[in-house]
Structure 1
Amino acid sequence: MKKIIAFSLMLFTALTFLGCSLGDDQENFHFVALPITSVEMPDSFVLNETYQIKVKYLRTSDCEYFEGFDIVKEETTVRNVAAIGSKLSDSDDCQEIEQEIETSFNFVVLYNQTYTFKYFTGNDESGEAQYLEIEVQVTE
């Protein structure tokens, strides 16, 4: 009886993992950078305070879904910010849209220096990345 239960449990576990396969072992999505259209930031920061930064990004397809932000520390007080989305790769019925969506992230001020934020706004005609640069002074 124990062998039957153990075999049934192993069979159930195997079928569970195999049942989630996409069939061809390929991802059905890929990550994309979503263009940021506008940002709301304070005129100045206070050291050691946390700020909610409001960001609007452009969703260009109904097969794109916001995943979060990629915030890269380029230098001590320079941050490159990109809105990251996932886009379905295997869907044939994606519709082009232009939907501006607002979201936010929290930022903690750790240094008593001016911060420079570079927000990814898309690529130009030659494929070069374009950024909206905003400087924010820090006060004590």
Structure 2
Amino acid sequence: MKRAFLFFFVIGLAVLAASCSIDDDQTNFKYTTLKTVNASLPDTFELGRVYKVDVNLLRPDDCTYSETFDVRRSFTDSTNIRTVAAIGIVLDEGPCEAVNDSIQDSFQFEVIYSNPYVFQFYTGDDENGEPEFLEIEVPVKHRR
């Protein structure tokens, strides 16, 4: 009985898998980097806490939505640097209308180092194609 059930189960899975079709020639979306308008961070962090970081982003058209954040870390001797880029998704829905709206999104950030943090939020490229950043430094205090 178990063999018969297993046989029919495997056959059913094979039929189900064969009936699904993935069209690789058609892409429904693409990723893009969104520009940061401003960000809201506390005046100080407390070591060991998790904070919600609110970020206002520029939405260039009605086909673009905020998807996630790419937060990269680097260090100097006395500072923790976080470079933040908002990743958007552009849906392939035909013609898109320019809206230039500011939308808000957020990410969670855990404070694990006692040195100050410097956040560098991507705001776009300058006339030479070099990235520009909004820089915000937040000192860290210890819990009592």
Q: Do they fold alike, i.e. is TM over 0.5?
A: yes
The letter of the residue matching 2:89 is S
Residues 89-121 of structure 1: per-residue CA shift (max 9 Å, x gap): x44311111111112111111111011100001
Which residues of structure 1 form unaligned runs of 5+?
none
Counterpart selection for 1:116 from 115, 118, 121: 118
Q: TM-score by structure 2 length?
A: 0.81
Over aligned residues, Cα RMSD in angstroms? 2.2
SS state of the match for residue 139, structure 2?
Answer: strand
- Three-state SS of the structure 2 residue aligned to 1:10 is helix
- Aligned positions of 1:27-38 closer than 5 A: 27-38=27-38
Q: Which residue of 2 aligns with 1:98?
A: 100
Q: Quote the offset at 1:10 in angstroms.
A: 3.1
Percent identity over paired residues: 38
The amino acid across from 1:115 in the alignment is: Y
Unaligned runs of 5+ in 2: none
Closer, same or farther: CA 12–34 of 1 in aligned 2, 3 Å: same
Number of equivalent positions: 134
CA drift of 1:86 comes to 1.2
Letter in 1 for 2:28: N
CA pair 110-92 structure 1, distance change in 2 beyond 3 A: same
CA separation of 1:11 and 1:118: change in aligned 2, threshold 3 A: same
Give the drift of 1:72: 0.5
Check whether the contact 2:66–2:105 (CA below 8 A) recurs between aligned residues: no
After superposition, what is the alpha-carbon deviation per residue over 1:53-110, rounded to whole angstroms, capped at 9, x for unaligned?
A: 111001101111211110001227110001101113x443111111111121111111
SS in 2 for 1:134: strand
Letter in 1 for 2:110: V
* SS of residue matched to 2:48: coil
